[in-house]
Amino acid sequence: MKSILCIGCFFLIANSSSVQDPRQLLLDSFNRQRAAIAKDQDIANMNELSWSGYLEKEAQNLTCEDLGYQTKTQIFFGIYDNQTGKILEALTPDKRNENEAEIGLDGLRFPGQTHVGCASHDCVYKSSDLKMAITGLCIIGPETNRSSELHGAPGSKCREQGKYGLCKPKKTGNKIKKKPKKALDEKAWVERMNNERILYANHFNIARMYELSWDPTLASKAAEMECEDLRKPGPDYSIMIFSDAKDFAILNQISSEEKEEELDTMGVQAMRIPGQTKMGCAFLDSECIKRTGLVKRFVGACLFGPETEFGDVKIGTPGSRCPNGKGPSGLCKPLPGGKKMDDDDDDDLVENEENEDNVSTSVFTNIALLFLVFIFF
């Protein structure tokens, strides 16, 4: 077969005077290519693609470094310009396929795909054989392999045929259909986070590190979040994102300094703020991709409140300046009703230790701490 995406010119249409929607032109090209693949390879159940505004928005955040990356339900691929297409056409079929596979184009061939979204980009991808001028980056899903492929006359195993003789998939809305969310063990997560806070308080001699309790409201907010919501804290909570065990295991392969930097990109400081008293976690509707760091795929989020920054941190023997006494975990019990300590009341709790003082957040955020070892589900 010929190269799949010698169609970078379609992204130029968006800046032209054409009255046709460039998204529809690109979508029609994808579907024609899929119809040609189905005919060439006798695929009986090749689906017709629909455009996803949600995936288009996500594609706007991609870079050339993301090409070929995949989650459990998405593949990232690139569109190259016509000049790159001519170079690829001059290669042997095997070499051409190898180069196209590097930028994720195999994902366009999988029969079970139903949705795609693309955004205009201008970058260069260096494959094993050449430099590819990329004019657009796309996300396609929900399949990451050809396991659903059925052989026979194209369209012969469709529930309903759509354009170009492709199968018309069952409608699931504008987004890729999501799997049911997993349940979280609330008690285990609270215990795990409090254990981390104890370790952190002991390491830095934080005299007033509050004990966390589960907050259903925060958990509900986390469950409703979209990927773009994870980039900013709320008015009374901070956000930490988490991955599954397989992706998180990457941290075992890097240095201590790199590990702390990676944890910082995950928002771990939200959990470490001493003034936090409540938390809520949930799996997200769909996997999200973080643009920085080594761990890029995330499946859930934890919200910690009510603080959004460290502020002044009380230094001394851990638990020595608890206004309401210690809880079972050894951390400070929160004040009733979420009340905060007044400076005048706080004076009565000061120990007679020369190292007692307030310190700013920079003391804690710039030191590589490696206690955080989550067991993600």
CATH at residue 52? 3.40.33.10
pLDDT for the residue 290: 66
Domain count, the chain: 2
Same domain assignment for residues 90 and 204: no
CB 317 within 8 A of CB 272: no
Verify that 160 and 196 share a domain, yes or no: no
- Per-residue pLDDT of the chain (377 residues), as tens digits, is 444 444 433 343 334 344 467 888 899 999 999 999 999 999 999 999 999 988 898 888 888 888 888 877 888 999 998 888 889 888 898 898 888 888 989 899 999 999 999 999 899 998 878 899 999 999 999 998 888 899 999 999 998 988 889 999 876 444 444 455 677 899 999 999 999 999 999 999 999 999 999 999 999 999 988 877 887 789 999 999 988 776 667 777 778 788 778 888 888 999 999 999 999 999 987 777 765 667 777 888 999 999 999 888 889 999 999 999 998 888 999 988 766 655 445 555 554 343 444 444 433 433 333 334 343 33
The CATH number linked to 342 is 3.40.33
Is residue 150 located within the same domain as residue 280?
no
Q: Are 133 and 257 in a shared domain?
A: no
What is the reported pLDDT for 247? Answer: 64
Structure tokens at 353: 């230790």
Q: Which pLDDT score, from 0 to 100, does residue 375 have?
A: 35
Are both 80 and 216 inside the same structural domain? no
Q: Residue 196 sits in which domain range?
A: 186-365
According to the model, what pLDDT value does residue 71 have? 78
Q: Is residue 376 part of a domain?
A: no
Does 224 lie in the same domain as 77? no
Q: Is residue 122, in this structure, part of any structural domain at all? A: yes
- Bridge partners for 136 per DSSP: 79, 120
Q: Kindly calculate the radius of gyration of the chain based on its CA atoms and give it in whole angstroms.
A: 26
Residues 97 and 204 in one domain: no
Q: Could you give the CA distance from residue 83 to residue 45 in angstroms, rounded to a whole number? A: 33
Do 153 and 191 lie in a common domain?
no
Q: Return the closest-CA partner of residue 311 out of 369, 278, 367, 359.
A: 359
Task: Report which DSSP code applies to 49.
Answer: P
Which among 271, 259, 251 has a CA at the least distance from the CA of 201? 271
- H or E element: which one contains 40? helix 22-41
Report the C-alpha gap between 251 and 249 in whole angstroms: 5
196 and 325 together in one domain: yes
On whether residue 375 sits in a domain, the answer given is: no
Residues 154 and 61 in one domain: yes
H/E segment holding residue 126: strand 115-126
pLDDT at 74: 87
Instruction: Judge if 160 and 192 occupy the same domain.
Output: no
**Angle subtended by helix axes 82-89 and 93-102, to nearest 10:** 140
Measured over the CA atoms of residue 87, residue 89, residue 92 and residue 93, the dihedral's sign is positive
pLDDT at 254: 77
Calpha distance 42→174 (Å, rounded)? 29
DSSP letters, 276-311, are --EEEEEEEEEEEE-SSSS--EEEEEEEEES-SS--
Site of tokens 């009341």: 345
179 part of a folded domain: no
Are 326 and 333 a contacting pair, CB within 8 Å? yes
> Vertex 289, ends 287 and 294: CA angle to 5°?
125
Q: Do 221 and 153 belong to one domain?
A: no
Residue 321 lies in a domain: yes
pLDDT value at residue 227: 78
In 10 A of CB 33, how many CB atoms? 21
